Amino acid sequence: MSNIILASGSPRRHELLALAQLSFNTMSVDIDETPLTDELPTPYIERMVKDKSHAAIEQLNLQLAASAERVDFSSMHTAIVLTADTIGVLADGRTVLVKPVDRAHAHSMWQQMSGSTHQVWTAVRAVKVQLINAGRDEAQWQIVAKRQIMESTDVSFIPLTSAMMNSYWDSGEPADKAGGYAIQGLAAAWVTRINGSYTNVVGLPLAQTLALIDELQVS
C-alpha cells in the first residue's frame, strides 16, 4: 500500500493529485454532510474534513482487524491520510452553496451567483498515522501528526438567464458539484474571472496540498 491515501471518492481530486505523479491509494468515506442549524461556513467545512478523516482511519482499522496478515513491528509503518471538502460561499460570507438536491435548488443557488462574485472554499486535512501494537498481536492505526488548511478563491459569473440554467441542469453535470457547477466543464462559459487557485475551485488546491504532504513526510 502506498503511504499516501486520498480518502475521497471524487474523480476530480484523484485526477488533480495524479498530476503531481505521486503514488497514492484512494478510499471512499461516507459521512452525513448536512449543515447544522445556523452553522457558518468555516466551522461547517472544518467539521466535514475532520469527520471524514476520523471515518477514514476507522475504516482502515476495520480493514486491518479483518485481515489475517500479521504486522511486523520491527519496521515502522506510517501513512498520510488526506481528506478534503469544497463549498461555495456567497458574498455575505454566511450562505453555503452545497451540492444541489434538485433543479429548483440549483436554480436558487445560480440566481444568487448570477452577475456577481462568490467564493469557493476547500478545506484539506492531512493526518499522519502510524501502526502501533495494541496488544495481543493486534495492530491499530493511530494519529501521530496532523495539519489542516483552508483555501479560498473568488469566482465571478456572468448574468445567467433561465434558459442557460435549464440547459446546464439538463446536461447532468451540476448534480454532484458544490454550488452546482464545474469550472472545468460546461460552466467555464459562465466564469468571467477568478482570483486565487484554479485547482481549488475544481476541488483540491494542489500546490498547497503537496506542501502539506511534504511537511508531514519529514515530521
Q: Which residues are catalytic?
A: 85
Instruction: Assess contact for 87 and 45: CB atoms under 8 A.
Output: yes
Closest CA to 60 of 86, 85, 25: 25
The residues pairing with 5 across neighbouring beta strands, listed in sequence order, are 25, 81
Instruction: Assess contact for 46 and 23: CB atoms under 8 A.
Output: no
Which helix (H) or strand (E) element contains residue 206?
Answer: helix 206-217
Instruction: Assess contact for 142 and 128: CB atoms under 8 A.
Output: no
Residue type, 43: P
Closest CA to 196 of 84, 117, 111: 117
How far is it, in rounded angstroms, from Cα 115 to Cα 182? 17
Q: Which cell goes with 204?
A: 483540491
- The SS3 of residue 152 is strand
The residues pairing with 91 across neighbouring beta strands, listed in sequence order, are none
Name the phi and psi angles at 129, rounded to 5: -120, 155
